[in-house]
Amino acid sequence: MMLQQASRFEQIIQGPVETRAGGQKFVTWNDPIKIEKYTKEVQKMATELINENRKLRRVHINVMNLVIELMNIDLLKSKNTWLDKMNQIKIMVDHETKGRDKDMCRIWLTHINYQIYKAMEVQYRMGLESLNENLPEIEADLTYKNSKMEFRPAFDKLK
């Protein structure tokens, strides 16, 4: 996601290279004005690169914290809270990927989708384990009538 900034940084680093008549490349450090200009450009680009990295790292940590919260929210009991957290994640991811090359964001998006999948799997397993606690009790009577055993309500309705 930072490929453009890294490419620009690389271009600046390679900037002061000059070519001799024989095709050899070299850097001259004789002109102090060029040296100062070069170091300022490198520092400026390095600062931009560091700031972008910190920003993306902060967003990633916030998204992962929300995913961890999803793992701790009971999906059966708090579906709306779960969906609200999912919307927060979607908004944060959309905001960061807007205006960026989709191919460059694909790995990050895949990682986030996989983490959300794991949160859903945790909730699915917990839901299955606690399903008997969350289902309402069903009452049925077993009667003996006309030499036959019958359920009340009928067995099809109990299913």
Tens digits of residue pLDDT in 8-63: 888 888 776 666 666 655 566 777 887 888 889 889 999 999 999 999 999 999 99
How far apart (Å, rounded) are the C-alpha atoms in residues 82 and 89? 11
How far apart (Å, rounded) are the C-alpha atoms in residues 33 and 140? 93
Instruction: Please tell me the pTM assigned to this model.
Output: 0.72
CA-wise closest residue to 108 among 71, 63, 72: 63
Q: Where are the domains of the chain?
A: 3-158
C-beta neighbour count of 67 within 10 angstroms = 19
For residue 107, give the amino acid letter: I
pLDDT 10s digits, 87-96: 999 999 999 9
Q: What is the mean pLDDT of residues 81-103?
A: 94
